[in-house]
DNA sequence: CGATAGGTTGACGGTTCTCAAGGGAGGTGG
DNA sequence: CCACCTCCCTTGAGAACCGTCAACCTATCG
Protein backbone atom coordinates (compact mmCIF):
# COMPACT_ATOMS: atom_id res chain seq x y z
CA UNK A 1 0.00 0.00 0.00
CA UNK A 2 1.31 3.36 -0.94
CA UNK A 3 -0.07 6.82 -1.28
CA UNK A 4 -1.68 6.95 2.15
CA UNK A 5 -0.52 9.84 4.20
CA UNK A 6 -0.28 9.17 7.91
CA UNK A 7 -3.26 11.30 8.81
CA UNK A 8 -5.54 9.47 6.43
CA UNK A 9 -4.33 6.10 7.62
CA UNK A 10 -5.11 7.07 11.17
CA UNK A 11 -8.56 8.19 10.12
CA UNK A 12 -9.17 4.88 8.38
CA UNK A 13 -8.23 3.10 11.56
CA UNK A 14 -10.67 5.19 13.52
CA UNK A 15 -13.54 4.13 11.27
CA UNK A 16 -13.06 0.46 12.06
CA UNK A 17 -15.22 -0.91 14.80
CA UNK A 18 -14.61 -4.35 16.21
CA UNK A 19 -17.95 -5.97 16.93
CA UNK A 20 -19.07 -9.34 18.11
CA UNK A 21 -18.82 -12.05 18.97
CA UNK A 22 -22.07 -13.12 17.40
CA UNK A 23 -23.17 -16.63 18.22
CA UNK A 24 -24.62 -19.22 15.89
CA UNK A 25 -28.05 -18.14 14.74
CA UNK A 26 -27.66 -14.47 15.65
CA UNK A 27 -28.50 -11.94 12.99
CA UNK A 28 -25.84 -9.46 11.90
CA UNK A 29 -28.32 -7.51 9.84
CA UNK A 30 -31.75 -8.10 8.39
CA UNK A 31 -33.24 -7.44 4.98
CA UNK A 32 -34.85 -4.02 4.85
CA UNK A 33 -32.80 -2.46 7.61
CA UNK A 34 -31.20 0.86 6.71
CA UNK A 35 -27.68 0.45 5.43
CA UNK A 36 -24.97 2.17 7.34
CA UNK A 37 -21.92 -0.03 7.37
CA UNK A 38 -20.06 -2.74 5.58
CA UNK A 39 -18.19 -5.32 7.58
CA UNK A 40 -15.25 -7.62 7.16
CA UNK A 41 -15.48 -11.07 8.69
CA UNK A 42 -12.64 -11.54 11.16
CA UNK A 43 -13.60 -15.00 12.38
CA UNK A 44 -16.41 -17.44 11.76
CA UNK A 45 -18.76 -17.93 8.84
CA UNK A 46 -21.69 -15.75 7.83
CA UNK A 47 -24.66 -16.86 5.77
CA UNK A 48 -26.51 -14.31 3.64
CA UNK A 49 -30.02 -15.13 2.47
CA UNK A 50 -33.42 -13.77 1.64
CA UNK A 51 -36.89 -15.03 2.45
CA UNK A 52 -39.34 -15.26 -0.41
CA UNK A 53 -43.04 -14.57 -0.27
CA UNK A 54 -43.73 -18.04 1.12
CA UNK A 55 -41.16 -17.68 3.85
CA UNK A 56 -38.76 -20.04 2.17
CA UNK A 57 -35.13 -19.35 2.63
CA UNK A 58 -32.93 -18.57 -0.36
CA UNK A 59 -29.24 -18.81 0.45
CA UNK A 60 -27.19 -16.23 -1.42
CA UNK A 61 -23.78 -17.11 -0.13
CA UNK A 62 -21.38 -17.75 2.70
CA UNK A 63 -18.74 -15.28 3.87
CA UNK A 64 -15.49 -16.57 5.26
CA UNK A 65 -12.87 -14.77 7.34
CA UNK A 66 -11.34 -11.89 5.41
CA UNK A 67 -14.40 -11.36 3.24
CA UNK A 68 -16.66 -8.35 3.21
CA UNK A 69 -20.43 -8.32 3.68
CA UNK A 70 -22.95 -5.61 3.01
CA UNK A 71 -21.58 -4.40 -0.31
CA UNK A 72 -24.86 -5.09 -2.07
CA UNK A 73 -26.63 -2.69 0.28
CA UNK A 74 -24.99 0.50 -0.94
CA UNK A 75 -27.47 0.73 -3.75
CA UNK A 76 -30.88 1.27 -2.22
CA UNK A 77 -29.45 2.24 1.14
CA UNK A 78 -31.03 -0.81 2.72
CA UNK A 79 -29.74 -4.31 3.22
CA UNK A 80 -31.31 -6.44 0.49
CA UNK A 81 -30.67 -9.64 2.43
CA UNK A 82 -30.23 -11.10 5.88
CA UNK A 83 -26.89 -12.03 7.37
CA UNK A 84 -26.69 -14.55 10.15
CA UNK A 85 -23.76 -16.08 12.03
CA UNK A 86 -23.30 -19.80 11.46
CA UNK A 87 -20.86 -20.13 14.30
CA UNK A 88 -19.02 -17.65 16.52
CA UNK A 89 -18.42 -14.60 14.38
CA UNK A 90 -16.32 -11.48 14.89
CA UNK A 91 -16.51 -8.52 12.55
CA UNK A 92 -14.76 -5.31 11.64
CA UNK A 93 -17.54 -2.86 11.07
CA UNK A 94 -16.91 0.22 8.94
CA UNK A 95 -19.29 3.12 8.56
CA UNK A 96 -19.84 3.44 4.86
CA UNK A 97 -20.68 7.15 4.71
CA UNK A 98 -17.49 7.94 6.56
CA UNK A 99 -15.51 5.47 4.50
CA UNK A 100 -16.61 6.99 1.23
CA UNK A 101 -16.00 10.47 2.56
CA UNK A 102 -12.47 9.43 3.36
CA UNK A 103 -12.18 7.85 -0.08
CA UNK A 104 -12.62 11.21 -1.75
CA UNK A 105 -9.41 12.31 -0.08
CA UNK A 106 -7.65 9.01 -0.58
CA UNK A 107 -7.63 7.94 -4.23
CA UNK A 108 -6.05 4.58 -3.42
CA UNK A 109 -8.85 3.83 -1.00
CA UNK A 110 -11.39 4.79 -3.60
CA UNK A 111 -9.70 2.53 -6.10
CA UNK A 112 -9.65 -0.28 -3.56
CA UNK A 113 -13.37 0.09 -3.00
CA UNK A 114 -14.12 0.13 -6.72
CA UNK A 115 -12.05 -3.00 -7.08
CA UNK A 116 -13.76 -4.71 -4.17
CA UNK A 117 -17.19 -3.97 -5.56
CA UNK A 118 -16.20 -5.00 -9.05
CA UNK A 119 -14.83 -8.31 -7.82
CA UNK A 120 -18.15 -9.09 -6.19
CA UNK A 121 -20.05 -8.79 -9.46
CA UNK A 122 -20.82 -12.10 -11.01
CA UNK A 123 -19.46 -14.21 -8.20
CA UNK A 124 -22.78 -15.95 -7.92
CA UNK A 125 -22.70 -16.83 -11.59
CA UNK A 126 -19.75 -19.15 -11.14
CA UNK A 127 -21.78 -21.81 -9.43
CA UNK A 128 -24.92 -21.24 -11.43
CA UNK A 129 -22.96 -22.13 -14.53
CA UNK A 130 -22.73 -25.85 -13.90
CA UNK A 131 -26.06 -27.51 -14.22
CA UNK A 132 -25.26 -30.98 -12.99
CA UNK A 133 -25.45 -31.41 -9.24
CA UNK A 134 -22.09 -33.13 -9.08
CA UNK A 135 -20.44 -30.29 -10.99
CA UNK A 136 -21.96 -27.64 -8.78
CA UNK A 137 -20.86 -29.47 -5.66
CA UNK A 138 -17.34 -29.90 -7.01
CA UNK A 139 -17.20 -26.21 -7.91
CA UNK A 140 -18.50 -25.31 -4.48
CA UNK A 141 -15.92 -27.35 -2.63
CA UNK A 142 -13.13 -25.93 -4.77
CA UNK A 143 -14.44 -22.43 -4.23
CA UNK A 144 -14.47 -22.81 -0.46
CA UNK A 145 -11.05 -24.39 -0.63
CA UNK A 146 -9.59 -21.55 -2.67
CA UNK A 147 -11.11 -18.93 -0.42
CA UNK A 148 -9.75 -20.52 2.73
CA UNK A 149 -6.41 -21.03 1.07
CA UNK A 150 -6.21 -17.37 0.06
CA UNK A 151 -6.58 -16.40 3.68
CA UNK A 152 -3.88 -18.70 4.91
CA UNK A 153 -6.01 -21.65 5.95
CA UNK A 154 -5.55 -25.16 4.67
CA UNK A 155 -6.75 -25.65 1.11
CA UNK A 156 -7.36 -29.37 1.44
CA UNK A 157 -8.90 -29.64 4.83
CA UNK A 158 -11.63 -27.40 6.16
CA UNK A 159 -14.83 -27.35 8.07
CA UNK A 160 -18.12 -26.67 6.35
CA UNK A 161 -19.81 -24.68 9.03
CA UNK A 162 -23.16 -24.78 7.29
CA UNK A 163 -25.65 -27.63 7.26
CA UNK A 164 -26.25 -29.88 4.27
CA UNK A 165 -29.57 -28.17 3.72
CA UNK A 166 -27.90 -24.79 3.53
CA UNK A 167 -25.36 -26.07 1.04
CA UNK A 168 -28.13 -27.68 -0.98
CA UNK A 169 -30.23 -24.53 -0.90
CA UNK A 170 -27.28 -22.46 -2.07
CA UNK A 171 -26.49 -24.93 -4.86
CA UNK A 172 -30.14 -25.23 -5.89
CA UNK A 173 -30.59 -28.89 -5.19
CA UNK A 174 -32.54 -30.98 -2.71
CA UNK A 175 -30.78 -31.72 0.59
CA UNK A 176 -31.04 -35.42 -0.21
CA UNK A 177 -29.21 -34.84 -3.45
CA UNK A 178 -26.44 -32.94 -1.70
CA UNK A 179 -26.05 -35.83 0.69
CA UNK A 180 -25.93 -38.35 -2.13
CA UNK A 181 -23.43 -36.37 -4.16
CA UNK A 182 -21.10 -36.05 -1.20
CA UNK A 183 -21.52 -39.76 -0.58
CA UNK A 184 -20.57 -40.53 -4.15
CA UNK A 185 -17.50 -38.28 -4.02
CA UNK A 186 -16.54 -39.93 -0.79
CA UNK A 187 -17.03 -43.43 -2.22
CA UNK A 188 -14.86 -42.47 -5.16
CA UNK A 189 -12.11 -41.37 -2.77
CA UNK A 190 -12.18 -37.86 -4.21
CA UNK A 191 -12.96 -36.36 -0.85
CA UNK A 192 -13.14 -37.55 2.72
CA UNK A 193 -16.17 -36.58 4.73
CA UNK A 194 -16.43 -36.58 8.49
CA UNK A 195 -19.52 -34.76 9.61
CA UNK A 196 -18.96 -31.24 8.34
CA UNK A 197 -15.26 -31.61 7.99
CA UNK A 198 -14.07 -32.09 4.44
CA UNK A 199 -10.70 -33.29 3.22
CA UNK A 200 -9.96 -32.97 -0.46
CA UNK A 201 -8.08 -36.08 -1.50
CA UNK A 202 -8.01 -35.40 -5.24
CA UNK A 203 -8.66 -31.70 -5.90
CA UNK A 204 -7.64 -32.16 -9.50
CA UNK A 205 -10.48 -34.58 -10.06
CA UNK A 206 -12.86 -32.10 -8.51
CA UNK A 207 -11.57 -29.45 -10.88
CA UNK A 208 -12.15 -31.80 -13.76
CA UNK A 209 -15.71 -32.41 -12.65
CA UNK A 210 -16.43 -28.73 -12.16
CA UNK A 211 -15.19 -27.99 -15.66
CA UNK A 212 -17.35 -30.64 -17.29
CA UNK A 213 -19.49 -27.78 -18.27
CA UNK A 214 -21.26 -28.64 -21.50
CA UNK A 215 -22.89 -25.30 -22.00
CA UNK A 216 -25.30 -25.18 -24.90
CA UNK A 217 -23.58 -23.22 -27.58
CA UNK B 1 -28.43 16.33 -9.83
CA UNK B 2 -26.83 18.63 -7.37
CA UNK B 3 -23.38 19.24 -6.06
CA UNK B 4 -21.72 19.29 -9.44
CA UNK B 5 -19.91 22.50 -10.14
CA UNK B 6 -19.92 23.59 -13.75
CA UNK B 7 -16.27 22.79 -14.33
CA UNK B 8 -16.66 19.24 -13.15
CA UNK B 9 -19.78 18.73 -15.22
CA UNK B 10 -17.94 19.93 -18.28
CA UNK B 11 -15.10 17.57 -17.51
CA UNK B 12 -17.51 14.66 -17.17
CA UNK B 13 -18.92 15.50 -20.54
CA UNK B 14 -15.48 15.49 -22.03
CA UNK B 15 -14.84 11.97 -20.81
CA UNK B 16 -17.77 10.56 -22.72
CA UNK B 17 -16.97 9.12 -26.09
CA UNK B 18 -19.73 8.16 -28.48
CA UNK B 19 -18.73 4.99 -30.26
CA UNK B 20 -20.36 2.68 -32.72
CA UNK B 21 -22.43 1.66 -34.39
CA UNK B 22 -21.41 -1.92 -33.89
CA UNK B 23 -23.22 -4.42 -36.05
CA UNK B 24 -24.64 -7.79 -35.03
CA UNK B 25 -21.83 -10.15 -34.19
CA UNK B 26 -19.16 -7.49 -33.69
CA UNK B 27 -17.16 -7.65 -30.50
CA UNK B 28 -17.17 -4.64 -28.20
CA UNK B 29 -14.46 -6.15 -26.04
CA UNK B 30 -12.97 -9.56 -25.50
CA UNK B 31 -12.09 -11.52 -22.40
CA UNK B 32 -8.50 -10.86 -21.39
CA UNK B 33 -8.18 -7.48 -23.03
CA UNK B 34 -6.85 -4.74 -20.76
CA UNK B 35 -9.60 -2.77 -19.12
CA UNK B 36 -9.70 0.89 -19.82
CA UNK B 37 -13.29 1.98 -20.09
CA UNK B 38 -16.83 1.23 -19.05
CA UNK B 39 -19.62 1.90 -21.48
CA UNK B 40 -23.30 2.70 -21.35
CA UNK B 41 -25.49 1.14 -24.01
CA UNK B 42 -27.23 3.86 -25.98
CA UNK B 43 -29.04 1.65 -28.45
CA UNK B 44 -29.20 -2.04 -29.19
CA UNK B 45 -28.56 -5.11 -27.07
CA UNK B 46 -25.21 -6.46 -25.90
CA UNK B 47 -24.52 -10.04 -24.89
CA UNK B 48 -21.77 -10.76 -22.37
CA UNK B 49 -20.36 -14.25 -22.16
CA UNK B 50 -17.30 -16.35 -21.48
CA UNK B 51 -15.92 -19.37 -23.25
CA UNK B 52 -15.05 -22.33 -21.09
CA UNK B 53 -12.13 -24.69 -21.57
CA UNK B 54 -14.00 -26.64 -24.25
CA UNK B 55 -14.89 -23.52 -26.19
CA UNK B 56 -18.50 -23.63 -25.14
CA UNK B 57 -20.24 -20.37 -24.64
CA UNK B 58 -21.55 -19.34 -21.24
CA UNK B 59 -23.94 -16.42 -21.45
CA UNK B 60 -23.62 -14.10 -18.47
CA UNK B 61 -26.23 -11.57 -19.40
CA UNK B 62 -27.78 -9.13 -21.81
CA UNK B 63 -27.41 -5.37 -21.58
CA UNK B 64 -30.22 -3.14 -22.75
CA UNK B 65 -30.17 0.56 -23.58
CA UNK B 66 -29.31 2.64 -20.53
CA UNK B 67 -27.32 -0.13 -18.89
CA UNK B 68 -23.61 -0.17 -18.22
CA UNK B 69 -21.12 -2.81 -19.30
CA UNK B 70 -17.57 -3.45 -18.19
CA UNK B 71 -18.08 -2.91 -14.46
CA UNK B 72 -16.81 -6.36 -13.64
CA UNK B 73 -13.48 -5.54 -15.29
CA UNK B 74 -12.31 -2.96 -12.76
CA UNK B 75 -11.05 -5.69 -10.53
CA UNK B 76 -8.23 -7.42 -12.37
CA UNK B 77 -7.83 -4.63 -14.85
CA UNK B 78 -8.86 -6.96 -17.65
CA UNK B 79 -12.24 -7.76 -19.09
CA UNK B 80 -13.29 -11.08 -17.58
CA UNK B 81 -15.80 -11.70 -20.35
CA UNK B 82 -16.61 -10.99 -23.97
CA UNK B 83 -19.17 -8.45 -25.10
CA UNK B 84 -20.76 -8.74 -28.49
CA UNK B 85 -23.45 -6.72 -30.24
CA UNK B 86 -26.65 -8.65 -30.92
CA UNK B 87 -27.98 -5.98 -33.24
CA UNK B 88 -26.91 -2.46 -34.11
CA UNK B 89 -25.35 -1.06 -30.96
CA UNK B 90 -24.25 2.44 -30.01
CA UNK B 91 -22.28 3.13 -26.87
CA UNK B 92 -21.12 5.92 -24.61
CA UNK B 93 -17.60 4.98 -23.73
CA UNK B 94 -16.04 6.44 -20.59
CA UNK B 95 -12.39 6.12 -19.65
CA UNK B 96 -12.43 4.59 -16.21
CA UNK B 97 -9.12 5.99 -14.94
CA UNK B 98 -10.23 9.45 -15.84
CA UNK B 99 -13.70 8.87 -14.44
CA UNK B 100 -12.39 7.71 -11.08
CA UNK B 101 -9.96 10.59 -10.99
CA UNK B 102 -12.85 12.95 -11.49
CA UNK B 103 -14.79 11.08 -8.82
CA UNK B 104 -12.26 12.03 -6.17
CA UNK B 105 -13.18 15.65 -6.78
CA UNK B 106 -16.88 14.94 -7.17
CA UNK B 107 -18.33 13.10 -4.21
CA UNK B 108 -21.71 12.70 -5.84
CA UNK B 109 -20.08 11.03 -8.82
CA UNK B 110 -18.18 8.73 -6.52
CA UNK B 111 -21.38 7.86 -4.70
CA UNK B 112 -23.09 7.23 -8.02
CA UNK B 113 -20.35 4.83 -9.03
CA UNK B 114 -20.48 2.99 -5.73
CA UNK B 115 -24.21 2.67 -6.12
CA UNK B 116 -23.91 1.45 -9.70
CA UNK B 117 -21.41 -1.21 -8.75
CA UNK B 118 -23.40 -2.25 -5.71
CA UNK B 119 -26.55 -2.65 -7.77
CA UNK B 120 -24.78 -5.01 -10.10
CA UNK B 121 -23.88 -7.42 -7.30
CA UNK B 122 -26.13 -10.41 -7.18
CA UNK B 123 -28.09 -9.57 -10.28
CA UNK B 124 -27.19 -12.94 -11.74
CA UNK B 125 -28.52 -14.68 -8.66
CA UNK B 126 -32.04 -13.53 -9.36
CA UNK B 127 -32.54 -15.98 -12.18
CA UNK B 128 -30.47 -18.73 -10.67
CA UNK B 129 -32.88 -18.78 -7.75
CA UNK B 130 -35.73 -20.46 -9.60
CA UNK B 131 -34.93 -24.02 -10.37
CA UNK B 132 -37.84 -24.92 -12.60
CA UNK B 133 -37.44 -24.01 -16.22
CA UNK B 134 -40.85 -22.38 -16.39
CA UNK B 135 -40.08 -20.22 -13.37
CA UNK B 136 -36.75 -19.12 -14.76
CA UNK B 137 -38.31 -18.21 -18.09
CA UNK B 138 -41.09 -16.27 -16.39
CA UNK B 139 -38.55 -14.42 -14.25
CA UNK B 140 -36.48 -13.71 -17.33
CA UNK B 141 -39.37 -12.24 -19.29
CA UNK B 142 -40.42 -10.10 -16.34
CA UNK B 143 -36.86 -8.96 -15.84
CA UNK B 144 -36.50 -7.86 -19.44
CA UNK B 145 -39.89 -6.21 -19.26
CA UNK B 146 -39.02 -4.26 -16.12
CA UNK B 147 -35.71 -3.16 -17.55
CA UNK B 148 -37.24 -1.91 -20.78
CA UNK B 149 -40.02 -0.26 -18.83
CA UNK B 150 -37.55 1.58 -16.60
CA UNK B 151 -35.98 3.11 -19.67
CA UNK B 152 -39.23 4.29 -21.11
CA UNK B 153 -39.94 1.42 -23.47
CA UNK B 154 -43.09 -0.64 -23.44
CA UNK B 155 -43.26 -3.08 -20.55
CA UNK B 156 -45.63 -5.48 -22.25
CA UNK B 157 -44.29 -5.59 -25.74
CA UNK B 158 -40.66 -5.94 -26.66
CA UNK B 159 -38.27 -7.66 -28.95
CA UNK B 160 -35.97 -10.36 -27.68
CA UNK B 161 -32.95 -9.58 -29.77
CA UNK B 162 -31.19 -12.77 -28.78
CA UNK B 163 -31.74 -16.24 -30.18
CA UNK B 164 -33.57 -18.99 -28.34
CA UNK B 165 -30.27 -20.73 -27.81
CA UNK B 166 -28.79 -17.67 -26.17
CA UNK B 167 -31.78 -17.34 -23.86
CA UNK B 168 -31.60 -21.04 -23.05
CA UNK B 169 -27.88 -20.84 -22.39
CA UNK B 170 -28.38 -17.88 -20.09
CA UNK B 171 -31.20 -19.64 -18.24
CA UNK B 172 -29.29 -22.92 -18.03
CA UNK B 173 -31.66 -25.02 -20.03
CA UNK B 174 -31.60 -26.78 -23.38
CA UNK B 175 -32.70 -24.72 -26.39
CA UNK B 176 -35.46 -27.27 -26.97
CA UNK B 177 -36.72 -26.71 -23.46
CA UNK B 178 -36.74 -22.93 -23.94
CA UNK B 179 -38.77 -23.41 -27.07
CA UNK B 180 -41.23 -25.70 -25.33
CA UNK B 181 -41.64 -23.45 -22.31
CA UNK B 182 -42.39 -20.46 -24.53
CA UNK B 183 -44.81 -22.62 -26.46
CA UNK B 184 -46.60 -23.60 -23.28
CA UNK B 185 -46.83 -20.01 -22.08
CA UNK B 186 -48.16 -19.06 -25.47
CA UNK B 187 -50.72 -21.88 -25.46
CA UNK B 188 -51.87 -20.74 -22.03
CA UNK B 189 -52.37 -17.22 -23.37
CA UNK B 190 -49.93 -15.83 -20.84
CA UNK B 191 -47.74 -14.40 -23.56
CA UNK B 192 -47.93 -13.94 -27.29
CA UNK B 193 -44.94 -14.97 -29.34
CA UNK B 194 -44.15 -13.85 -32.84
CA UNK B 195 -40.62 -14.77 -33.73
CA UNK B 196 -38.53 -12.83 -31.27
CA UNK B 197 -41.24 -10.38 -30.42
CA UNK B 198 -42.95 -10.99 -27.10
CA UNK B 199 -46.19 -9.56 -25.84
CA UNK B 200 -47.03 -10.11 -22.20
CA UNK B 201 -50.75 -10.79 -21.99
CA UNK B 202 -50.87 -11.68 -18.30
CA UNK B 203 -47.81 -10.34 -16.54
CA UNK B 204 -49.39 -11.11 -13.19
CA UNK B 205 -49.51 -14.80 -14.02
CA UNK B 206 -45.86 -14.65 -15.00
CA UNK B 207 -45.07 -13.04 -11.66
CA UNK B 208 -46.97 -15.80 -9.93
CA UNK B 209 -44.96 -18.42 -11.78
CA UNK B 210 -41.65 -16.72 -11.08
CA UNK B 211 -42.47 -16.45 -7.40
CA UNK B 212 -43.21 -20.14 -7.00
CA UNK B 213 -39.98 -20.59 -5.18
CA UNK B 214 -38.04 -17.51 -5.96
CA UNK B 215 -37.35 -14.41 -4.01
CA UNK B 216 -36.13 -11.37 -5.85
CA UNK B 217 -34.87 -8.96 -3.30
C1' DC C 1 -34.41 -20.59 -55.63
C1' DG C 2 -31.43 -22.92 -52.83
C1' DA C 3 -28.49 -22.50 -48.76
C1' DT C 4 -27.98 -21.75 -44.01
C1' DA C 5 -28.96 -20.62 -39.40
C1' DG C 6 -32.48 -20.63 -36.23
C1' DG C 7 -36.58 -22.70 -34.39
C1' DT C 8 -39.96 -26.40 -33.40
C1' DT C 9 -41.66 -30.92 -32.33
C1' DG C 10 -41.58 -35.85 -30.86
C1' DA C 11 -39.74 -39.89 -28.40
C1' DC C 12 -36.79 -41.62 -24.98
C1' DG C 13 -33.74 -41.97 -21.09
C1' DG C 14 -31.30 -40.14 -17.24
C1' DT C 15 -30.88 -37.03 -13.42
C1' DT C 16 -32.91 -35.22 -9.69
C1' DC C 17 -36.99 -34.12 -6.79
C1' DT C 18 -40.41 -35.88 -3.64
C1' DC C 19 -42.06 -38.70 -0.16
C1' DA C 20 -41.07 -41.72 3.55
C1' DA C 21 -38.43 -43.89 7.03
C1' DG C 22 -34.53 -44.82 9.61
C1' DG C 23 -29.90 -43.59 11.85
C1' DG C 24 -26.44 -40.56 14.32
C1' DA C 25 -24.63 -36.52 17.22
C1' DG C 26 -25.13 -33.21 20.64
C1' DG C 27 -27.60 -31.18 24.34
C1' DT C 28 -30.62 -31.29 28.43
C1' DG C 29 -32.51 -33.11 32.47
C1' DG C 30 -33.11 -36.76 35.54
C1' DC D 1 -23.81 -41.34 33.74
C1' DC D 2 -27.60 -42.47 31.14
C1' DA D 3 -32.11 -41.62 28.88
C1' DC D 4 -34.24 -38.92 25.88
C1' DC D 5 -35.14 -35.37 22.69
C1' DT D 6 -34.29 -32.79 18.74
C1' DC D 7 -32.10 -31.58 14.75
C1' DC D 8 -29.41 -33.09 11.15
C1' DC D 9 -28.17 -36.35 7.98
C1' DT D 10 -28.71 -40.49 5.32
C1' DT D 11 -30.89 -44.00 2.52
C1' DG D 12 -34.46 -46.05 -0.46
C1' DA D 13 -38.20 -46.18 -3.97
C1' DG D 14 -41.05 -43.99 -7.36
C1' DA D 15 -42.28 -40.23 -10.29
C1' DA D 16 -41.62 -35.94 -12.68
C1' DC D 17 -38.81 -32.95 -15.14
C1' DC D 18 -35.71 -31.95 -18.46
C1' DG D 19 -31.72 -33.02 -21.55
C1' DT D 20 -30.42 -35.63 -25.60
C1' DC D 21 -31.02 -37.29 -30.17
C1' DA D 22 -33.25 -36.89 -34.44
C1' DA D 23 -36.12 -34.98 -37.84
C1' DC D 24 -38.53 -31.36 -39.82
C1' DC D 25 -40.02 -26.68 -40.44
C1' DT D 26 -39.33 -21.58 -41.15
C1' DA D 27 -37.11 -17.15 -42.04
C1' DT D 28 -33.68 -14.59 -44.21
C1' DC D 29 -30.39 -13.63 -47.70
C1' DG D 30 -27.53 -13.82 -51.50
User: Residue B129: what pLDDT?
Assistant: 81
User: Residue A62: what pLDDT?
Assistant: 97
On whether both A89 and A188 belong to a single domain, the answer is no
A129 touches strand D (CB under 7 A): no
Examine residue A178 and state whether it is found in any structural domain, yes or no: yes
Lookup: nucleotide whose C1' is closest to A166 CA = D8
- Range with the poorest average pLDDT among A70-74, B18-22, B53-57, B61-65: B53-57
On whether both A155 and A53 belong to a single domain, the answer is no
Examine residue A140 and state whether it is found in any structural domain, yes or no: yes
On whether both B27 and B112 belong to a single domain, the answer is yes
On whether both B195 and B136 belong to a single domain, the answer is yes
Locate the chain A residue with the closest alpha carbon to B115. Answer: A75
Distance of residue A79 Cα from the nearest chain B Cα, in angstroms: 10
Which tens digit of pLDDT belongs to each residue from A23-68?
Answer: 999 999 999 999 999 999 999 999 999 988 777 899 999 999 999 9
On whether both B70 and B159 belong to a single domain, the answer is no
On whether both B94 and B181 belong to a single domain, the answer is no
A114 touches strand D (CB under 7 A): no
On whether both B204 and B153 belong to a single domain, the answer is yes
User: Residue A13: what pLDDT?
Assistant: 84
What share of chain B in percent tops pLDDT 90? 82
Examine residue A1 and state whether it is found in any structural domain, yes or no: no
Examine residue B166 and state whether it is found in any structural domain, yes or no: yes
The full 3-state SS of chain A, as one line of letters, equals CCCCCHHHHHHHHHHEEEEEEECCCCEEECCCCECCEEEEEEECCEEEEEECCCCCEEEEEEECCCCEECHHHCCCCECCCEEEECCCEEEEEEEHHHHHHHHHHCHHHHHHHHHHHHHHCCHHHHHHHCCCHHHHHHHHHHHHHHHHHHCCCCCCEEECCCCHHHHHHHCCCCHHHHHHHHHHHHHCCCEEEECCEEEECCHHHHHHHHCCCCCCC
Q: pTM of the predicted model, to two decimals? A: 0.92
Contacts of B10 (CB under 8 A, 6+ apart): none
Mutation for B interface: A122, A173, A207, most B CBs within 10 A: A122
The domain that holds A159 is classified in CATH as 1.10.10.10
Note the CA–C1' distance, A13 to C26, in angstroms.
Answer: 41
User: Residue A213: what pLDDT?
Assistant: 52
Single residue among B123, B147, B181 that ends a domain in this structure: B123
On whether both A193 and A117 belong to a single domain, the answer is no
The full 3-state SS of A154-173, as one line of letters, equals CCCEEECCCCHHHHHHHCCC
Contacts of A99 in chain B (CB under 8 A): none
Lookup: nucleotide whose C1' is closest to A164 CA = D9
On whether both B69 and B105 belong to a single domain, the answer is yes
Single residue among B123, B147, B179 that ends a domain in this structure: B123
Which tens digit of pLDDT belongs to each residue from B152-192?
Answer: 999 999 999 999 999 999 999 999 999 999 999 999 999 99
pLDDT band at A7 (very low <50, low <70, confident <90, very high): low
**Pick the residue with more confidence: A12 or B151?**
B151
User: Residue A185: what pLDDT?
Assistant: 97
Examine residue B1 and state whether it is found in any structural domain, yes or no: no
Mean of pLDDT values over A167-180 = 96
A196 touches strand D (CB under 7 A): yes
**Which residue in A53, A100, A215 is closest to B211 by CB distance?**
A53
Distance of residue B191 Cα from the nearest chain A Cα, in angstroms: 24
User: Residue B7: what pLDDT?
Assistant: 64
pLDDT at A125 over 80: no
Examine residue B136 and state whether it is found in any structural domain, yes or no: yes
Which tens digit of pLDDT belongs to each residue from B81-99?
Answer: 999 999 999 999 999 999 9
On whether both B45 and B132 belong to a single domain, the answer is no
Lookup: nucleotide whose C1' is closest to B25 CA = C5
Number of structural domains (chain A) is 2
Single residue among B123, B148, B163 that ends a domain in this structure: B123
A121 to B120: CB separation less than 8 angstroms, yes or no: yes
Note the CA–C1' distance, B183 to D28, in angstroms.
Answer: 22
On whether both A59 and A152 belong to a single domain, the answer is no
Mutation for B interface: A31, A53, A123, A215, most B CBs within 10 A: A215
The domain that holds A118 is classified in CATH as 2.60.120.10
pLDDT at B9 over 80: no
Note the CA–C1' distance, A53 to D2, in angstroms.
Answer: 45
User: Residue A152: what pLDDT?
Assistant: 95
User: Residue A215: what pLDDT?
Assistant: 36
Note the CA–C1' distance, B133 to D17, in angstroms.
Answer: 9
Give residue B209's domain range: 126-216
Note the CA–C1' distance, A164 to D2, in angstroms.
Answer: 30
On whether both A113 and A145 belong to a single domain, the answer is no
Mean of pLDDT values over A63-82 = 96
pLDDT at B214 over 50: no
pLDDT at B215 over 60: no
- Range with the poorest average pLDDT among A150-159, B5-14, B161-170: B5-14
> Within 10 A of B76 (CB to CB), how many other CB atoms are there?
13
Residue contacts between A and B (CB atoms, under 8 Å): 136
Amino acid sequence: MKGYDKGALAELHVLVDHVGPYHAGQYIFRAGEPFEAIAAVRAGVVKTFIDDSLGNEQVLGFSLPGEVIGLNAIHGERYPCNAVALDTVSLCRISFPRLSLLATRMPTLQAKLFSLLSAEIGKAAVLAANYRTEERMAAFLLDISARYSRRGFSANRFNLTMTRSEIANYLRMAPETASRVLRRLSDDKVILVNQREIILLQPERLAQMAAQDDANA
